[in-house]
Structure 1
Amino acid sequence: MRAIQVREVGGPEVLELVEVGEPQPGDGELLVDVGAAGVNYIDTYQRGGIYPLATPFVLGIEGAGTVRAVGAGVDGVAVGDRVAWKDALGSYAEQAVVQASEAVPVPDGVSDEDAAALLLQGMTAHYLATSLYPVQPGDWVVVHAAAGGVGLLLTQMVKMRGGNVLATVSTPEKAELARGAGADEIASYEDFADRARELTGGTGVACVYDGVGKTTFDRGLDALRVRGTMALFGAASGPVPPFDPQQLNAKGGLFLTRPTLGHYTRTREELDARAADLFGWAADGKLDVRIGGRYPLAEARRAHEDLQGRRTTGKLLLVPGE
């Protein structure tokens, strides 16, 4: 079986295409033929050692495919079923072992590629817009990196809930993509706080959804209204340095949270509910899933270079069959 392995942490150059033995499912596990694997920023953190893992390891946590074998103690899943998952290390491979408790069914109207493109980033957008700060009709919010995988989906979900989106992007091409997803206004990463104040008559926005981190955080606090929410869900530009919590008081009794998806899928019921919404919207054409790049396994390094070089829009996928 072919897989992308990390023998020692580092840059994209440490990604190696290797032959490994086919894994076997244990109790409560599924063996899945991977139709597509998602490429995510968390993969770069694991590859680089920011999130340490024992080496060597096969990279990738998200994917979709067809069940090849079922381990003991698994009910409700059969060989031939199509499933998707958001948290199974080893997904950059032709086959992956997935905990049955993490696998969600993929309906017929959704392809493996769309499922793999949707689950992790789609669920992130889902909890941000519906649970962390539930967008209300008429709210203005900032969506950073609005032409990225999370950003395009989050923008659409904010619009579904009747909110208004001030989107940040880095190029005119990305601005067009954000507008296509429903963004009401576009700003640069440098002037978005001033623009947020202008659009709200000086009041500020209800929430800043920030997956960028270091370079946008301080200005994001300035963009918020009294009792506004800073949802810091990522750090694409680097981690936010330590800061004085008194700033939250001085800027209007702000709320700051640093969540992960795991905090918002703590039960099987919550996992299934979020997945059902996403796949249902996609199948009905209410949610546009933009796949920004498809790469064969052998080109995993290029996928990581493109992602971290900010040369991409939408979701990147590794497709083992190509």
Structure 2
Amino acid sequence: MKPLCKITIGLLIIANIFACEEDDVNVNPPVEQQIVVQFGENETVSENVESKEITIKLSKPAAIAGEIILKVIAEDNETFQTIPEVIDDELKITVAKDANNATFNFLPNNNSILEANKDIQFKLLQVSSGFDIGNKDSLTVTIIEDEDASYISFVDSLTSITENNTVRTSIKLALTSSAPAECSVTIQLSNWENAKFTTDPAFNENGQIILPVVLGTSNLSFDILPTNNNVLNGHFEFNASIVAVSGAILKGAKIKTFINILDDELIGKAKSYESAGGNWKSRKIFVYDENGKIEKVN
């Protein structure tokens, strides 16, 4: 019996040794690393660029398809568009299986208005299973303004028009360069409530003339036509000022011009006369009535 027990025990020991060796061979496979998702360097885009592709980097080819959700932070969502579309300030991007990166298209809106550069921020908000957000989790896209300013000024500082002039007189304005886009210039008239003239374009209920600016133009004007009332009531003076501009137009150096409408009934009439003798001198001033006759002498 004893020899048989020894043999049995020996066989059990040998079987146990082989079992341990088999456990050592069948080790668990390593856990596959997550795919790291992150942005590259910040981007700049000119406002007049049709479209720019923005890349989101993957640390290795995607073993499975997935989705990336970006948070979009912008002061004005009207300044750009994206493909896919931003919905509720979020942008969802599909990651294809075996892809090395994910992309979306950024389309700036060229508004033909001179403004400051604009920054739009994209931030990695969420990724699907099998992906992980990396250290560079945000990207800023700067839209660079493409308009160069053109400055507008009056050509003349003073214009004189005779009241009985039947030909319209143009008040001219000039731009330093051709207008880069359609926009407008607003002219404010002084003393317009008592106006002894009409304008073309007509001034509005606030005494303002709105001049449209056509793309590519470099000169503007509006016309003055005096009202001839056949009555002597003195010269009429007023001014016109550039008070507002839009688009890529800025106010220039000469934003005001003065306009005198000369009363034709008064032109050529003596204003005063002087008498002198010995050590004395006397000056008399004529005052005329509406018909141009001397009403009194002061």
TM-score (norm 2): 0.21
Comparing both chains, which one has the higher relative contact order based on Cα–Cα distances under 8 Å and sequence gaps of 6 or more?
1
Larger radius of gyration: 2
The alignment's TM-score, normalised by the length of structure 1, stands at 0.20
Answer 1 or 2: which has greater strand percent. 2
Please identify which structure carries the higher helix content: 1
